[in-house]
């Protein structure tokens, strides 16, 4: 505050000065000097200085919002300079009485600013509406000016110039430094792609406000996509504790991270899934006519282990933009009798609320196996019945965009009623040589391969391998170059030790050689 008084004194030499202290109680919070010394400093300010402190408080009696504008006046136009001895008006007296129970800082502020004016909301409805609209416009103007200032500062720091920056009016949000960085980055990339490079006399890159507007649009589109998925799950109104617990396990499509491009081969299965699942979820209007085009409610993926059934289910949810609910026995069972059925019901009610959604059951035979098993518990049988009733029963809706996707390598262990509710059953078989080559291309897409690495010959030597087996083979082969590095370091260390030299530096990732065909052959033999 001492520094502020010095600045005010210097500026007042030029002419009359008005100083606004917004939220004045915050300006004096944490000041160690006494309020009496502050008052003395304020009184020593030269004539022609007007200090206005604003304070917003709620009037509990009228339940209306008041803005108290407090004045400390030092002006030669005021007779006898009695700014410190102005008597309080009736409102100030009442305010002083009400503030007896306020914090100590506010009591001192009442003494520092003895002259008070109450600015109340307009009582007339039309005036109140106009006043609020004006406030909204003022807020938008302040936001726009602040955003322009932030962008201009960043442009100057980055040696970029925009002559028509003022035409960019960003009023609906306050930009952070990170947002400004992204906007300018998008704008420069867009500008260089669609315009000739122009520089100013001092060598700065010149861009237009249109390029900045494009960068802003890209940032807003990314934010809206992220918020929509998070908000849709966060704002779901759950009816009971069972839905609330299951909601925590729901995975939005953007968080799954698996697409059909990540799955090598299985082209026929992928095309069938696109027709049966993705198209009805993405374009439901095409399936409203007639009875035969109703969306498929259940698809069973069966085949040997490791053929990519789980990855197909994840890719379906990602490509279709559907929420993914992974159901297992641990998520729907309870030690309390009858709660298992409630969990099952909550699965479908929650899936309906967050539709489009995919209910995925891996190893579905363990949950929905045959009911005639003599060793099966009664509670388990009731859970199966409840599952099938909610899946396809009297209360289910035909137009609901909820899909049950099951995966198993033991389809003959499923209950007959469950198989009936899987109208489409897709065989995910072991890949042949050409499909194994496609899978290897996907697995090794980001790996550095030697010139002698022939994926076709590698696919031919792995007859009977599943997709999972091929990945494990590649992982094993990738460790051979690392083993060679470790052996080399060990030998160099022993030689240096025998010669009395210091230990050599360790090798880095750049020293790891590319994968060769011999690595894969060794892994295959192992």
CA distance 117 to 94: 12
- Ramachandran quadrant class, 430 (left: phi over 0; alpha: psi -120 to 50; beta: rest): beta
84 burial via Cβ count (<10 Å: 0-12, 13-18, 19+): middle
Options 3.30.2310.20, 3.40.50.720, 1.10.8.60, 3.40.47.10; CATH for 436-525 is 1.10.8.60
- Secondary structure of residue 428 in the 3-state scheme: coil
Supply the pLDDT for residue 28.
63
Residue 64 reports pLDDT greater than 60: no
CATH 3.40.50.300 range(s) for the chain read 241-427
pLDDT digits (tens, 9 = 90+) for 7-23: 777 777 777 888 877 77
Token pair, residue 192, equals 């260089």
CA distance 61 to 80: 38
Residues 6+ apart with CB under 8 A from 175: 147, 150, 151, 183
Let me know: does 343 contact 332? Beta carbons within 8 Å.
Answer: yes
Token pair, residue 303, equals 């085949």
Options 3.40.50.300, 3.30.930.10, 3.90.550.10, 3.40.50.2300; CATH for 241-427 is 3.40.50.300
CATH 1.10.8.60 range(s) for the chain read 436-525
Token pair, residue 405, equals 């996707």
If pLDDT is split at 50, 70 and 90, which confidence band does 50 have? confident
CA distance 512 to 62: 76
CA distance 430 to 269: 12
pLDDT digits (tens, 9 = 90+) for 189-231: 888 888 888 888 888 888 888 888 888 888 877 766 555 544 4
Closest by CA to 438, choosing from 257, 260, 258, is 260
Q: Which residue has the tokens 């005010």?
A: 8
pLDDT digits (tens, 9 = 90+) for 310-333: 888 888 888 877 888 888 777 777
Token pair, residue 283, equals 């374009």
Give the CA dihedral 107, 109, 110, 114, nearest 10 degrees.
Answer: 160
Token pair, residue 207, equals 């861009």
CA distance 478 to 393: 51
């Amino acid at each position: 505050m001492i520094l502020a008084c010095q600045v005010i004194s210097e500026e007042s030499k030029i002419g009359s000065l008005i100083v606004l202290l917004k939220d004045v109680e915050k300006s004096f919070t944490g000041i160690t000097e006494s309020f009496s010394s502050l008052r003395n400093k304020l009184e020593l300010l030269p004539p022609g200085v007007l200090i206005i402190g604003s304070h917003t408080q709620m009037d509990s009696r009228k339940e209306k919002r008041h803005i108290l504008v407090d004045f400390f006046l030092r002006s030669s136009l005021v007779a006898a300079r009695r700014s410190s001895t102005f008597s309080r008006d009736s409102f100030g007296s009442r305010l002083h009485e009400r503030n007896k129970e306020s914090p100590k800082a506010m009591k001192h502020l009442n003494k520092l600013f003895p002259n008070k004016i109450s600015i109340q909301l307009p009582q007339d409805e039309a005036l109140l509406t106009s006043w609020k609209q004006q406030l909204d416009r003022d807020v938008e103007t302040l936001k726009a000016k602040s955003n322009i200032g932030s962008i201009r500062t960043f442009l100057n720091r980055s040696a970029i110039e925009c002559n028509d920056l003022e035409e960019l009016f960003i009023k609906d949000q306050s930009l952070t430094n990170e947002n400004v960085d992204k906007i300018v980055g998008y704008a420069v990339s867009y500008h260089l792609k669609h315009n000739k490079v122009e520089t100013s006399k001092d060598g700065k890159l010149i861009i237009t406000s249109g390029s900045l507007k494009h960068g802003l649009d890209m940032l807003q589109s990314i934010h809206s996509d992220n918020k929509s998925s998070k908000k849709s799950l966060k704002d779901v109104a759950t009816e009971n504790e069972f839905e609330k617990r299951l909601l925590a396990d729901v995975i939005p499509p953007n968080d799954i991270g698996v697409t059909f491009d990540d799955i090598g081969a299985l082209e026929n299965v992928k095309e069938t899934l696109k027709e049966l699942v993705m198209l009805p979820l993405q374009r439901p209007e095409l399936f409203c006519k007639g009875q035969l085009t109703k969306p498929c409610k259940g698809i069973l993926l069966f085949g040997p282990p490791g053929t990519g059934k789980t990855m197909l289910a994840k890719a379906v949810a990602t490509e279709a933009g559907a929420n993914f609910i992974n159901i297992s026995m641990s998520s729907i069972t309870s030690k309390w009798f009858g709660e298992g059925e409630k969990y099952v019901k909550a699965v479908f009610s929650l899936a309906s609320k967050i539709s489009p959604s995919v209910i995925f059951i891996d190893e579905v035979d363990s949950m929905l196996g045959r009911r005639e098993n003599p060793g099966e518990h009664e509670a388990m049988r009731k859970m199966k019945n409840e599952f099938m009733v909610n899946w396809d029963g009297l209360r289910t809706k035909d137009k609901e965009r909820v899909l049950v996707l099951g995966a198993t390598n033991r389809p003959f262990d499923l209950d007959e009623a469950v198989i009936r509710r899987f109208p489409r059953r897709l065989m995910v078989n072991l890949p042949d040589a050409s499909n194994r080559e496609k899978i290897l291309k996907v697995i090794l897409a980001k790996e550095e391969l030697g010139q002698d690495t022939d994926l076709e010959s590698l696919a031919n030597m792995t007859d009977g391998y599943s997709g999972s087996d091929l990945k494990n083979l590649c992982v094993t082969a990738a460790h051979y170059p690392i083993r060679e590095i470790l052996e080399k370091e060990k030998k160099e260390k022993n030689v240096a030790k025998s010669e009395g030299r210091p230990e050599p530096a360790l090798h880095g990732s750049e020293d790891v050689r590319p994968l060769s065909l011999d690595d894969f052959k060794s892994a295959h033999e192992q």
